[in-house]
Every structure is written in structure tokens, then in C-alpha cells.
Amino acid sequence: MNAKKMGRAWLTMCRSLSNQYIGFFILAVLLFWLKTYIAYLAEFNLGISNSMQELLLLINPISSAVFFLGLALLAKDARFYRWIIIINFILSFILYANIVYYRFFSDFITLPTLTQTKNFGDLGGSIWELLKWYDVFYFLDTAILAALVISKRVPLPQVQAGRFKKSIVFASAILMFSVNLALAEADRPQLLTRTFDRNYIVKYLGVYNYLIYDAFQSMKSSTQRAFANKSDITTVLNHVQATYAKPNPKYFGVAKGKNVIYIHLESLQNFIINYKLDGEEVTPFLNSLTRDPNTFYFDNFFHQTGQGKTSDAEFMLENSLYGLPQGAVFTTKGQNTYHAAPAILHQYGYTSAVFHGNYKTFWNRDEIYKSFGFDHFFDASYYDMNDEDVLNYGLKDKPFFRESIPLLETLKEPFYVKFITLSNHFPYPISEEDATIPPATTGDGSVDRYFQTARYLDEAVKEFFDYLKKSGLYDRSVIILYGDHYGISENHNKAMAQILGKEITPYEHAQLQRVPLFIHVPGVKGGVIHEFGGQIDLLPTLLHLLGIDTKNYVHFGTDLLSPDHQEIIPFRNGDFVTPTVTAVNGKYYDTKTGEPLKETPEIKRLEQIVRTKLDLSDKVVYGDLLRFYTPKGFKPVDPSKYDYNNREDEEGSAH
């Protein structure tokens, strides 16, 4: 059958179905189900591993389509057809929004992420990189339904849906969902209670039922603060004190009184360290730090960020608390009470500051930094944001470090400071004059450019280190460089397979969540450390180096240099990695070999530890439990005392 005949046959079927209002409803359901199923297969990596999951993926859009489109039956007469089209468009928009979001974050939208919309205006070229010409397909069914209604050649029969017919439709939707849920529970017991992984919910129940689940979870979490009380912190304190790792006497206090300089390496994954592209080192300066005699390099260090990405990394860095399962702490819990690093170090005479070449409202930093107790926040208003030096998310790294130096020199020592880089960020744009290494040749633009922007970041950091050494700060400071989160998502596995020369399986993807961690301590012998750890462990590690015991603080991480450090790295979705076991999507692998493992009592024990840590941390954040507890010697932060406005900038604007 040629294309013209197929087109006529399709139109005939559509007209036939639409000749009765219930036929029009069925057509809308079929078109929407087909579109959603195709989107599942084409856009999302849901980890389908057996025939039951394939069946569930096929059927899970149906109950949602019947229920939501069935709402149109509540309308009278011709409004039924308009309601069908409007509801279809809204559902299509929700699906498409998740598709675009997934292309960037490999995750699904949650209601708390909608509070981050003020960040989206700064995405710039990232948005255009995510849009595809074929995306019109996701609204094609809406267009077909609208065309049938608008076309006078197709009659619109009168709608006569009584209570019985409406009841049948909604009862059918509920029955189909019940069967769907029962089959899902058979394949994944306790689906709705024991997982943090949104992929599971979408895979088993569908993107629309997930939306309802997410709304319930958001409503539940928003009420936790109101019902929290002092007794809730007791369970948390018992846990953190039971898992506390004593400082290593060899390192405790070796950096007492020294400055602390954090350098936030945007989107830098650990595979890039010592990686050669066409025989040339991509990050020669960072590579040299792996051999520096006074620098610890941790080669089994993992990011643990969730939907908050960069802000989650900062949150763990400052608090040793996990980010949230939905949304970002920075945007939803900025007014909470925290015992963050700047406030802790303030008790020891430290001045604190953040340097960032973007505007202070991004990720709500201007509010939550006050709750952390940062003395200063040098945002874009302190920098020359000219068109030549601004690209992608803000000021390019080289001018950023250069312009930060005079600001740094205004701070009283000892200081605790953090420099947040920006250039190495998706979609990794770079000008010809800034690119000092050729791109990779996988054919995937963002992956190919990643090596160029990583080299640019490496060069910018080297320039800053040259200043630190020349000024003497290098010998008076602990310098910590860390990767904040992955740079190349699983949506680019095909290109990454070319880069690494092996298939990127779920196990390999978990291993790629390693990010660099360098800790330079003047006068202390460093070296390569193979200890497994994550971002949650940075704060207690730093404080012990400075001679500050963390026993009385609510920290879920442990000192990486302590003999008692617990080598379990929970990921935000409930997966985890240890030196022996990697758990991904309910499957287990030998961490060293990648060989599949069967579930054992020891693996169950590890899973329970991971769930306990994440659950208790969530209770602290959702319930704002630190307002009920003040560690001995700690002075609580008063956010109202902090002001990050650039007075010189304001005076310039006034003139």
C-alpha cells in the first residue's frame, strides 16, 4: 500500500471513529497512548530488563489517558470536543516538558523543580541544544483531533453521556490502573514506599500517574516541618553519633588556622583526569596535581547530587546533609536553620566568601547563603560582565579568576572561600580563540566539545594557582578542588562508548559518576588515595584537618582520612556503590569486575544503611530539625545580619 492510500485509510478510520462521540473519545485515547509509548521508547532510558517491564511500559499510559480524557465527559454538548482537545494538549505539554528536561538532566520534572524556573532564563543556548525538529510529533495527535473538530466534513454528534456511561469510563480507568499497579508490585515489591528513583515510577506506572505520585509526595514533605518537634532530632543524633568516624591522629589539626580555598570544577568527571585525546593530555595541570607531594588525590570519589545538581553539591559540601529526593534544597528550604561550614568556622575567626560569575538569585544563593552564614557573596555584579567574556551560564573562567583576585585580597585571613567555575557546562560552547585542543570526533557535539571546555577550565585553574603560589597563599591555605556532578549524561552513552572504548552499561554508568577530588595541605605528604567516598564526606574531612572535632554536629558523611570512614556511597535515588558492590536499578554488580551478583544478606544490610541515611537526612531538611538542636560552642546564624548587595554597583546605578 502506497503512502497516499495509507493516508486515506487513516483519515477514513479517524472519521469513522469520530462519527460517534464515544468513538471520538476512543480515538483520542488511542492516539495519546500511541504517542506516549513511542516517547517512552525514543526519549527515556528506563532500564527495561524483562518481559513484564516491557508489558507495563506498553499498558501504563492507557489508564491515565482514559481517566484524564474522560474528564471531558463532564462537559455538555459541543464543549466535550473542546475539552478533549484542551486536556490532550495539556497532557502533551506535560509529556514534552519531561522529554526536554530529561534530555538535559536524565530525570523527570517534580513539582519542587518548578520553583527553580527563575534559573531557566539563564540556560541560554542549552535550551536550543535540547530541541529537535521532530518534536512536533508530540503534538500531532492534538492537531489531528483539532482538525477533525474544525473540519466541517466530519459531523460532531451530540454528546449524551449519562451517569452510567461516565461511571463506566472512570471505573475502567481505575480498574486498569489497579491491574497495572498489581503487576508492577509483583515485579517490584513496595514500589511506592521503598524507592527514591523516579525512573521506577515512570517505568511501572507511567509519566502521568507519576505526576500524581509526585504531587502527593510534595504535599507530604511540605507538611513535615509543621509536625516536627524536638524529639525527632534525637533519632538523628543517635544515628550520626553511632556512625561518627574518629579523626586520624596523623592528620587531625595539621592545617589548623590555615585558609581554606574551594575550587568548584563545573561538570568535571574523573575519567578526564590523565585522559589523552589523540595522544594529548586534556587536563595537564590537574593531572600534575595527582603527582604533587603535598596533595591528596582521591580516585574513587563520587558525586551524589540529585535534581539540585550544582546546588546539591554545594549543599553537601557545606552541611554534610544529602540533597532532597525532589527539587533542590537551595530553592525550597532556603529559610531553614543550618550548621554550615561558614558558621562553624566563624567561631574560629574565619571570614567566609563565595565568588561566582553569575547573578546572586541563580539557585536562590542570595538567600540560602545567609542561612549558611557566608559573610560575603561576590556575584556577577562585582565583575565586568562584557559580551566578550560572558558565555553560556556567565563569566568565562579565566576572566573570572583574574577579576576575583582583587576581591580575594580584601578579605581578612584566615578565610574560607569558594570559587564556582562555569565554562565547562552543557552544551559546552567555546570560541575558537579559547579552544587550545581539537574536539573529539564522536559526532555528538556536546561530548566532542567537552574536552575543549575541560582544557579551558584546566588552564584557568593553573593561572589561579600561579597567583596563589606567587602571593604566598599557596603555602598558607588548604586548597580543595572537586567536581560537582556528571558532565555527560547517559543520553550520550553512544558517544561515550567511542571515547572509552567499551559499552556504557548501567554498571559502567555508575562508575562514571566519579568526580575529581584534590586536597592540597601545605607541609603534609599526600598521594593517591583509593578510599571510596562522596561529597557528603568533605565537610568532616576538612574540619578534622583544621583540628575541629565534628562529633557534636549532625553530619551524615565521615572523614575520608579516618580509619573508621564508612565506604558506602549512597546515590540520591537509593542506588549505591561500595568497594565490593555496585547497586543500580535493583541489580547488583561486583564493583571491581562488573560481574552480576545475586542479592545476599550483606547486600540487604547495605541497602538498609543507605535507606536509613537518606531517610534521616530528609527528615532533618524537611522538618527543619536543626532549629531544635545547637551544638556546644556553636552560635546560631541570624540571616537578617547578612547583606550581599554590591554598594558600589548600586551607587553607579544611582548616578
Over the chain, what is the mean pLDDT?
Answer: 89
CB 481, CB 256: distance < 8 Å? no
Q: Which has the closest alpha carbon to 97: 83, 76, 114?
A: 114
Instruction: Tell me what pLDDT residue 647 has.
Output: 64
The least confident of 219-223, 349-353, 487-491 is: 219-223
Specify the DSSP class assigned to residue 364: G
Counting Cα atoms < 13 Å in the Cβ hemisphere of 431 gives: 9
The tens digit of pLDDT for each residue in 431-453 reads 999 999 999 999 999 999 999 99
Instruction: Tell me what pLDDT residue 369 has.
Output: 97
Instruction: Tell me what pLDDT residue 211 has.
Output: 86
Upstream peptide bond of 427 is cis (omega within 30 degrees of 0): yes
CA 445/CA 352 separation, integer angstroms: 39
Rg of the chain over Cα atoms, rounded to whole angstroms, equals 27
Q: Which has the closest alpha carbon to 147: 88, 72, 74?
A: 88
pLDDT band at 24 (very low <50, low <70, confident <90, very high): confident
CA 631/CA 651 separation, integer angstroms: 41
Indicate if 630 belongs to the active site: no
The tens digit of pLDDT for each residue in 294-312 reads 999 999 999 999 988 999 9
Q: DSSP readout, 219-246?
A: HHHHTHHHH--HHHHHHHHHHHHHS--P
Residue 555 CA: distances (Å) to CA of 238, 247, 436, 440, 632: 12, 14, 42, 41, 15
pLDDT band at 111 (very low <50, low <70, confident <90, very high): confident
The tens digit of pLDDT for each residue in 497-553 reads 999 999 999 999 999 999 999 999 999 999 999 999 999 999 999 999 999 999 999
Instruction: Tell me what pLDDT residue 153 has.
Output: 57
Instruction: Tell me what pLDDT residue 18 has.
Output: 47
Helix (H, G, I), strand (E, B) or coil at 7: helix
The tens digit of pLDDT for each residue in 200-232 reads 788 888 888 888 888 887 777 778 888 899 999
State how beta strands 276-277 and 280-281 pair.
Answer: antiparallel
Other C-beta atoms closer than 10 Å to the C-beta of 91 total 23
Q: Give the N- to C-terminal CA distance of the chain in Å, as an integer.
A: 74
Instruction: Tell me what pLDDT residue 648 has.
Output: 67
Q: DSSP readout, 30-43?
A: HHHHHHHHHHHHHH
Instruction: Tell me what pLDDT residue 653 has.
Output: 38
Enumerate the β-bridge partners of residue 534: 302
Enumerate the β-bridge partners of residue 376: 353
- Percent of the chain topping pLDDT 90: 67
pTM of the model: 0.81
Instruction: Tell me what pLDDT residue 116 has.
Output: 55
The least confident of 104-108, 266-270, 392-396, 643-647 is: 104-108
CA 305/CA 105 separation, integer angstroms: 11
CA 88/CA 28 separation, integer angstroms: 8
Which residue is catalytic, options 195, 310, 541, 558? 310
Cα dihedral angle (620, 630, 548, 408), rounded to 10 degrees?
A: 80
Upstream peptide bond of 414 is cis (omega within 30 degrees of 0): yes
Instruction: Tell me what pLDDT residue 4 has.
Output: 62
CA angle, 592 then 594 then 599, to 5°: 100
* Residue in this structure with the C-alpha cell 504535599, named with its chain if needed: 219
CA 328/CA 111 separation, integer angstroms: 11
CB 191, CB 184: distance < 8 Å? yes
Specify the DSSP class assigned to residue 299: T
Give the mean pLDDT of 267-292. Answer: 97
Instruction: Tell me what pLDDT residue 61 has.
Output: 92
Cα dihedral angle (459, 462, 466, 472), rounded to 10 degrees?
A: 150
| DSSP helix, strand, coil percent of the chain (3-state; round to 5) | 50, 10, 40
The tens digit of pLDDT for each residue in 612-638 reads 999 999 999 999 999 999 999 999 999
Give the mean pLDDT of 329-345. Answer: 94
The tens digit of pLDDT for each residue in 33-83 reads 999 999 999 898 887 878 888 899 999 999 999 999 988 888 777 788 889
pLDDT at 12 over 80: no
CB 266, CB 422: distance < 8 Å? yes
- Percent of the chain topping pLDDT 70: 90
Instruction: Tell me what pLDDT residue 92 has.
Output: 94
Residue 494 CA: distances (Å) to CA of 447, 460, 504, 537: 10, 30, 8, 32
User: Which residues, in sequence order, are CB contacts of 251 under 8 Å at separation 6+?
Assistant: 521, 524, 544, 545, 561
CA 99/CA 314 separation, integer angstroms: 27
pLDDT band at 17 (very low <50, low <70, confident <90, very high): very low
The tens digit of pLDDT for each residue in 562-581 reads 999 999 999 999 999 999 99
Give the mean pLDDT of 633-647. Answer: 90
The tens digit of pLDDT for each residue in 135-187 reads 999 999 999 988 888 876 556 666 666 677 778 888 999 999 999 989 988 88
Phi-psi region of 386 (alpha: psi -120 to 50; beta: other; left: phi over 0): beta
pLDDT at 466 over 70: yes
Phi, psi of 355 (to 5 degrees): -115, 125
Which comes out higher in pLDDT, residue 226 or 191? 226
Instruction: Tell me what pLDDT residue 269 has.
Output: 98
